[in-house]
Amino acid sequence: MPFHAISHHVINVHNTKTNTHRGDDMWVIVENLRAYLDSDKIRVVANGGNTTISVEEKPTMQVPLYLGCRFAESGDPNEIYNTGGPGYTLNKAALKKFVTEGLPHHFVGLYKPSEDVFAARTMRAINISTYNTRDEVGSERYVATLQSMLYYVALLLL
């Protein structure tokens, strides 16, 4: 993620609950993403498991959330990251911590195309873990498959 893009997010962090990083070839059903991010499950996780306090009431108590489609870097289960293909979402607490603690110390001078891997390394360095975003039946909510492949598979099944 270029620094100017991160700077833009920092400027707007006070106006949003979450920020989603995505590529220009990603499709989002905004209503579905919004419904998931506003779901009771995510609200409770963002509140550190507390079901009685809302993030809106006590935003300083929010737990950093790093949501997306999890991959193991080079197959290593200890090096989990959210792949950039389908995008990933940071709540306000995660974005703030990423910008204030992560960028100045762990993301300096990196100009490589695998921003998702480097962002994940930074997240791990500041103790922000990926969160399992699969639904109740185990399907990914952040799908890392080319939509054209889904189309061709559907044609083959006809």
Phi/psi at 71 (nearest 5 deg)? -125, 160
Q: What is the mean pLDDT of residues 112-133?
A: 86
Strand, helix or coil at 111?
coil
pLDDT tens digits, 78-113: 888 888 888 888 998 998 898 888 888 776 666 667
Q: Is the pLDDT of residue 12 over 60?
A: no
Among all chains, which residue has been given the structure tokens 């108590």?
61
Residue of 103 and 13 predicted with greater confidence:
103
Helices (H), ranges, 25-146: 30-37, 40-46, 92-97, 103-106, 115-125
β-strands 130-132, 66-68 pairing: parallel
Whole-number Å distance between alpha carbons of 145 and 158: 20
For the chain, the domain total comes to 1
The DSSP bridge partners found for residue 82 are 70
Q: Go through 52-67 and write b for each residue having 16 or more CB atoms within 10 A of its CB, e for each that does not.
A: eeebeeeeeebbbbbb
Q: Residue 91, CB half-sphere, CA atoms under 13 Å: how many?
A: 25
33 or 14, which is more confident: 33
The residue segments making up the domain with residue 126 are 3-157
Band (6; pLDDT cuts 50, 70, 90)? very low
pLDDT bucket at 149, cuts 50 / 70 / 90: low
pLDDT in tens, 25-68: 677 788 888 898 889 888 888 888 776 656 566 556 788 999 99
